[in-house]
Amino acid sequence: MSKDDGRRIWMVGPPGRTVVATDSDGAVIGTANMYANRGGPGSHVASASFMVDPERARQGAGRALGEEVLAWARSSGFRAIQFNAVVETNAPAVALWRSLGFNVLTSVPEAFEHPVHGYVGLLIMHRFL
Amino acid sequence: MSKDDGRRIWMVGPPGRTVVATDSDGAVIGTANMYANRGGPGSHVASASFMVDPERARQGAGRALGEEVLAWARSSGFRAIQFNAVVETNAPAVALWRSLGFNVLTSVPEAFEHPVHGYVGLLIMHRFL
């Protein structure tokens, strides 16, 4: 994938935002983008997407990115944050979002084709701000 | 809104699809678009959006459009359909989707700012195919 492809697929411009998490040497180890989950009468709920380098897991990138999304959503005046697709077998992610105040609203059954586990649920997680 | 604006905002091209419902005189009384709810490992779940002329409610447009989405999703090989945002106070819509085999997975609380009722929930509805 080219840099332009990556930019086009991942980066979200204003009023949304894309950020990176770096290690102490300045290397990028994760990224998040954040945006309104819907337009018009649903635009008071934010959402976000995350990627962390699997080789740099457990180094705090996910938590730092999640806290950044919370701060951005609060300062932007959103009333809640909704994650639409947390893979239910990704226990570290589910535990992280719970620790940041998110609740599981439901699991959409068999909505994600996992390379190892086959069809697994996608959690919808939510918190008010 | 211009015709081009409407086209850009609403119409979904292949592999998705946009259809209209007409009355016996050929007048458009409703429309639906249909598409994969997600890409990649979530692309086996379809979704759809609907609009029916409020002055032509209760004339079967919604049901005809819903049945068309079911037929399209089945013939396209999707395994399920997920509606992400059914306004919970829209009782006719909720009843229609239930009658077509959809279940309510959850209500995302206060996710829709209703012009009359204020903040109301958005139902996530789902059925396997």
Write the DSSP assignment of A32-53 as a string of letters.
EEEEESSSGGGTTEEEEEEEE-
Instruction: Specify whether the CB–CB gap between B85 and A38 falls below 8 A.
Output: yes
pLDDT < 70 stretches in chain B: none
Please tell me the predicted confidence (pLDDT) of residue B94: 98
Nearest CA in chain A to B80: A111
| B113 contacts in chain A (CB < 8 Å) | 41-42, 44
Nearest CB partner across the interface for A114, out of B38, B41, B112: B41
Tens-digit pLDDT profile for residues B53-69 = 999 988 999 999 999 99
Q: Angle of helix A91-99 relative to helix A61-75, nearest 10 degrees?
A: 40
Kindly state whether B105 is in contact with chain A, defined as any CB-CB distance less than 8 angstroms.
yes
Kindly state whether B15 is in contact with chain A, defined as any CB-CB distance less than 8 angstroms.
no
Peptide bond into A15 cis (omega under 30): yes
Please tell me the predicted confidence (pLDDT) of residue B89: 97
Distance of CA A33 to CAs A10, A98, B95, Å? 7, 19, 36
Nearest to A75 by CA among A30, A114, A105, A34: A34
**Residue A106 to residue B110, Cβ atoms within 8 A:** no
Distance of CA B45 to CAs B35, B63, B74, Å? 9, 20, 11
Please tell me the predicted confidence (pLDDT) of residue A102: 98
> Whole-model pTM?
0.93
Most B CBs within 10 A among A1, A9, A10, A45, hence the mutation to make, goes to: A45
Tens-digit pLDDT profile for residues A62-97 = 999 999 999 999 999 999 999 999 999 999 999 999
Please tell me the predicted confidence (pLDDT) of residue B9: 86
Please tell me the predicted confidence (pLDDT) of residue B8: 87
**Residue B42 to residue A85, Cβ atoms within 8 A:** yes
Buried b (16+ CB within 10 A) or exposed e, A103-129: ebbbbbbbbbbeeeeeebbbbbbbbee
**Residue A80 to residue B112, Cβ atoms within 8 A:** no
Please tell me the predicted confidence (pLDDT) of residue A7: 85
Q: What is the ipTM of this complex?
A: 0.92
Q: What average pLDDT values come out for chain A (129 residues) when binned by 10 residues?
A: 86 92 94 96 97 92 97 98 98 97 98 97 98
